Amino acid sequence: MSVASILATFATAPLPAAEILAPPWMAHLWFVLLCLLLTGYAVLDGFDLGVGIIHFLIGRNARERTVHTNVIGPIWDGNEVWLVTFGGGLFAAFPLAYGSIFSAFMVPLVIVLFCLIARATSLEFRSKATGRWTVLACDLLFSVASIVATFVLGVATGAVMEGVPIDPAGNLVLPGTMTPGGPGPFAEITFALTPFSVTCGVLALTLFALHGAMFLNLKATGITETRIRGAFIGMYLAFLGSLLMATFLAFRDVDAASGFTLLGGFATLLNVLAIVNLAWAMRQRGKWRCFLASTVMVTAMIVLFGSTIHPNLLVSSLDPTWSITIQNAASTRATLLTMFVVVVVGIPFVLLYTAITYWTFRGTVSVEDVPEDRTA
Amino acid sequence: MEFLTDTEIMSRIQFAITISFHYLFPPLTIGLGFLLVAMEWKWLRTGDPVWERTARFWTSMFAINFALGVATGIVMEFEFGTNWSEYSRFVGDVFGSMLAAEGLWAFFLESGFLAVLVFGWDKVSRRFHFFATLMVCLGSTFSSIWIVMANSWMQTPTGFAVEPMLRDGVPWVVDGQPVTRAVLTDFFAAILNPSSVNRITHVWVGAATMGSFFVLSISAYWILRGRHLAVATRSFGLALVLAAIGTVGAMMTGDANARMVAVHQPVKLAAMEGVYETSDTLAPLTIIGMPDDAESKMDWEIGVPGALSALVYRRLHDAEGHPLSIPGLDLVPEDDRPMTAVVYACFHIMVGCGTFLVGVVGLGIYHWLRGSLWNTRWLLLMFIIGVFPAAIANQTGWFTAETGRQPWVVHPASPRVDPDQGAMSPLWLVDPKRPESEQVRLWTPGDPVDDLAGWHYPYGRRIVTDAKGEHRILPAGVDPEEGASISYDGTKSMRTSDGFSKALRSGAVLWACVMFLLIYLMLGMLWFVVLNHKIHKGPDDHTPGDGEGGLIVAMRRALGEITSMTGLRGGGSK
């Protein structure tokens, strides 16, 4: 088909009814929706990844660590579903971005998937294991997998903010492609590693660690509580340090971060308030306030991420005109509208199920509940 | 080992590994879900503690299989983006929305209530627990509906148009080629495409077979060993009913599916049945045979004469008395043929396994009605091993469906003129080498075949019928003229070789394959350990003092007992 005949088809195409029902900003609404799904994932899986990160820091022996696995045992599965839905939503609403981002980050994603499955497996194995060393091996796998998954997710988020070398067709151009030797053996990973993205990885680690600790604080009593209180200052300072570092590097390296947006400013303000409030609430031993504060912090991070990349979904670091924008990557408006209806009807149910699950498993777990002879 | 450096082949292998491993679990949980609802219903109605123990045990079995299904399912979804980005960009508007709908409606429902199902026994009321079971069962069933509809759309796509993609309001051109994509024009036509209902029902009966044989296998093992008899016999009875529905249903829906394939994917049918040559006589149904792709013929073929024609057309001759033959692979250019040997083998393994299971279930019901089932040890042993053919049939069935439609990832619409006429309708054939007015002809099963040399299915081509009623092939890039009607549009399809991610190096895909194999090894080990532990421990709190461990050991013992053929009665009880 020639370009002219395509244009002709387009000019004569009748205006579908969906054109009126689904205005052009429908795509942006979907962007917001996806940010919400990502927030849901970061808040929910954030704390169970976080519990994994501080698994050995807070739990000093197998019995104490059993408290952690008992707390997140019934809920991690439902939390990860948010990631699946985010992936599905991205596929449906922005197929172009889905194809480009996922194929560019293929290797990091495989690492994340590997870790998520390894986490699930180690939790399962742990509940069946009886030997001391088996339990320790499961604990180690669980913790390392949580750490690696969080770090890689953080790095990928940072790399998306900073921009990725993609060609006009939206495919990744590996660094070194133009050199005689071709791309290096680890180019699929190294393309994403910059000072900013690595700092984002560390920031994700410290943030989720804090968030996980606040969730554990809420759900566990006894010795676990004491240990969290003891480790709090260290985790808090580590988070503050990586946040300041990431902010500095964002202004230095990320083009989009230098411009001020109302939403970005609001998120920053919210973040600062939450960070201050977290320390204050911890002093006053307000467990719910602590958890709320860390939840707001995670949410603010995602809002900052969203407001930074908007109106792009993936910035091309080679040529800005090759960037994949929200409008260009979007599915047809009819599909966006159909899917929007599906989501609007579906979300209340989803929240209801989540609420039912958490209500069923309300209450706290303590190390005294774990029998001494059964570590798992 | 040349394929190791081919990104497309490696991506296909990676997808095959991940989806095959994934598909061990969903049919099991869907089938087991039906049984769980029945068990919990019985418990709710009777309050019988045996039903409670039964439901509790199978729920814990359900949980481990479900968790593995979820974990491996996440991989599937992401793989569309990582390895098949060109495909994702092309079909996102249609296929992506079905996948997202699945995630939201079904996945959340099941995952949300699963926690209540597994951990909530002592925390919620019996009534609410039953409700949660029902929701999980519904969730996994909904899930299968969306996924199979999405896959069916790739097999027999309808309700969409291929449109140029826009970038900032103007057509997006990369390397001088306008980029196109599939656009949803009719949601219900897309989800209720010609194959979706047939395929969903076939998947459900497959799942019923898988889930019921899982229960039958473990129950039969206990009965043979004389353990947990109360729970085992009740589970066995319920599962036997579902197995009967599943296996008989599989034959019926399988027949409907094959007839649908005959209309919409005639090449797949030819590959399934090993029909290399179009003949003007009735087509035999091959029972034994080995396809030889290099020579394009069947070796050691033994078949039932005329049976394939009879199955597909439901009669042997058309109105004029011509025998109804089956179009063969010789009408397809070599590039458009699937790997016939694979398709043929998978299809026949599936049918073989299904036939075996029908026999076992039939005998099981016969002995059950006679009251001699629990003493017929060889039959119980058949039930124990029956779980393997059930799993193999589910796997090979999908292998048949997925390898049979190659080399297409989005299959072209049916080359038949009018799908409403069913398998009886004539075929369009084309020969681009002939003069323009003679390039298209119709071929009706039964027509002479000696003049078919050079004629092909019009895959990837467009045929127009002009005002005078003459047909010709439309060269690529030309719009149909005024007054001409499009009979068949082969441009609305995608080849698998165009669908994989161009950004990937084969080394990265190879690495991913190794990583996934590693994690699946781990998951497989976990699955085996947990299952073995649970089966051995059983549903009762007290475990009989039986030091010997493991399913394998016990099966070996059971085999030994059978070869001796003595002490059949009550031999398994302790």
The per-residue pLDDT for A19 is: 52
Does residue B323 sit in helix, strand or coil? strand
Confidence of residue B466 (pLDDT cuts 50, 70, 90): low
Query: How far does the CA of residue A27 sit from the closest CA of chain B (Å)?
Result: 13
Put simply, the answer to whether A121 touches B508 (Cβ < 8 Å) is: no
pLDDT tens-digit profile of A325-374?
888 888 888 888 888 887 787 777 777 777 777 777 777 777 766 665 54
Put simply, the answer to whether A342 touches B501 (Cβ < 8 Å) is: no
Q: How far is CA B319 from CA B51, B59, B323, B363, B446, in A?
A: 59, 56, 10, 42, 11
pLDDT tens-digit profile of A144-190?
999 999 999 999 999 999 888 888 888 888 877 777 777 777 888 88
The per-residue pLDDT for A261 is: 78
The per-residue pLDDT for A327 is: 83
Query: In angstroms, how far is the first alpha carbon of chain B from the final one?
Result: 55
The per-residue pLDDT for B569 is: 31
For this complex, say whether ipTM is above 0.95: no
The per-residue pLDDT for A244 is: 92
Q: Give me the DSSP letters along B242-259.
A: HHHHHHHHHHHHHHHHHH
Q: A374 versus B98: which is more confidently predicted?
A: B98
- Identity (one letter) of the amino acid at B438? E
Q: Which residues of B touch A107 (CB under 8 A)?
A: 508, 511-512
The per-residue pLDDT for B92 is: 87
- Identity (one letter) of the amino acid at A299? T
pLDDT of residue B67 exceeding 80, the answer is no
Searching chain B, which residue's CA lies closest to the CA of residue A169?
A: B174
Q: Give me the DSSP letters along A42-74.
A: HHHHHHHHHHHHTHHHH--SHHHHHHHHHHHTT
| Cα angle: A172, vertex A176, A181; to 5 degrees | 130
Put simply, the answer to whether A99 touches B501 (Cβ < 8 Å) is: yes
pLDDT of residue B43 exceeding 60, the answer is yes
pLDDT tens-digit profile of B474-507?
665 555 554 445 555 556 788 888 888 888 888 8
d(CA B485, CA B187): 24
Q: Where are the domains of chain B?
A: 2-158+193-267+338-411+499-564, 159-192, 419-492
* Burial (CB count <10 Å: 0-12, 13-18, 19+), residue B510: middle
Query: How far does the CA of residue A74 sit from the closest CA of chain B (Å)?
Result: 6
pLDDT tens-digit profile of B515-563?
999 989 988 888 888 888 888 888 865 433 333 344 444 444 444 333 3
Tell me the torsion sign for CA atoms A18, A21, A25, A28: negative
Does any CB of chain A come closer than 8 Å to the CB of residue B529?
Answer: yes
Chain B residues 299-318 with a CB less than 8 Å from chain A: none
Give me the percent of chain B exceeding a pLDDT of 90: 29
Chain B residues 61-100 with a CB less than 8 Å from chain A: 64, 67, 70-75, 77-78, 80-83, 85-86, 88-89, 91-97, 99-100
pLDDT of residue B41 exceeding 60, the answer is yes
CATH topology of domain A33-329: Formate dehydrogenase/DMSO reductase fold (1.20.1630)
Chain A residues 126-165 with a CB less than 8 Å from chain B: 128
d(CA B159, CA B247): 33
For the segment B85-103, the average pLDDT, to the nearest whole number, is: 86
Secondary element (H or E) of residue A125? helix A106-128
Query: How far does the CA of residue A47 sit from the closest CA of chain B (Å)?
Result: 18
Find the range with the poorest average confidence among A336-345, B27-36, B388-397: A336-345
Secondary element (H or E) of residue B292? strand B285-292
pLDDT tens-digit profile of A198-242?
999 999 999 999 999 999 888 888 888 888 888 888 999 999 999
Chain B residues 530-549 with a CB less than 8 Å from chain A: 530, 533
For the segment B199-228, the average pLDDT, to the nearest whole number, is: 94
**Average pLDDT for chain B:** 81
**Helix, strand, coil in percent for chain B, rounding step 5:** 60, 10, 30
d(CA B379, CA B381): 5
pLDDT of residue B424 exceeding 70, the answer is no
Find the range with the poorest average confidence among A214-218, B45-49, B141-145, B465-469: B465-469
pLDDT of residue A1 exceeding 60, the answer is no
Q: List, in sequence order, the alpha helices (H) in B371-411.
A: 377-385, 387-404
| Cα angle: B1, vertex B18, B35; to 5 degrees | 145
Chain A residues 199-238 with a CB less than 8 Å from chain B: none
**Average pLDDT for chain A:** 83
Q: Which residues of B touch A339 (CB under 8 A)?
A: 97, 100-101
Q: At what angle do helices B387-404 and B340-370 cross, to 10 degrees?
A: 150
For the segment B263-270, the average pLDDT, to the nearest whole number, is: 86
Confidence of residue B112 (pLDDT cuts 50, 70, 90): low
**β-pair partners for B297:** B292
The per-residue pLDDT for B553 is: 41
For the segment B59-67, the average pLDDT, to the nearest whole number, is: 85
Q: B443 versus B398: which is more confidently predicted?
A: B398
pLDDT tens-digit profile of B224-254?
988 888 899 999 999 999 999 999 999 999 9
Does any CB of chain B come closer than 8 Å to the CB of residue A350?
Answer: yes
The per-residue pLDDT for B28 is: 94
Residue B429 main-chain phi, psi, to 5 deg:
-130, 150
Does residue B264 sit in helix, strand or coil? helix
Put simply, the answer to whether A103 touches B501 (Cβ < 8 Å) is: yes
Residue whose C-alpha is closest to residue B232's, from B374, B441, B439? B374
Put simply, the answer to whether A360 touches B120 (Cβ < 8 Å) is: yes
B560-563 long-range Cβ contacts below 8 angstroms, 24+ apart: B561/B377, B562/B377, B562/B378, B562/B381
Put simply, the answer to whether B107 touches A81 (Cβ < 8 Å) is: yes
Q: CB of A95 within 8 A of CB of B92?
A: yes
pLDDT tens-digit profile of B120-146?
787 788 888 899 899 888 888 888 999
Q: Which residues of B touch A170 (CB under 8 A)?
A: 85, 89
Place of tokens 């002219």: A4
Searching chain B, which residue's CA lies closest to the CA of residue A363?
A: B123
pLDDT of residue A143 exceeding 70, the answer is yes
Place of tokens 């209450």: A363
- Identity (one letter) of the amino acid at A237? L
Residue B137 has what DSSP assignment? H
Confidence of residue B173 (pLDDT cuts 50, 70, 90): confident
pLDDT tens-digit profile of B333-352?
777 888 889 999 999 999 99
Does any CB of chain B come closer than 8 Å to the CB of residue A81?
Answer: yes
The per-residue pLDDT for B545 is: 35
d(CA A293, CA A288): 8
pLDDT tens-digit profile of A111-135?
999 998 888 888 877 877 778 888 8
Query: In angstroms, how far is the first alpha carbon of chain A from the final one?
Result: 65
Q: Where are the domains of chain A?
A: 33-329
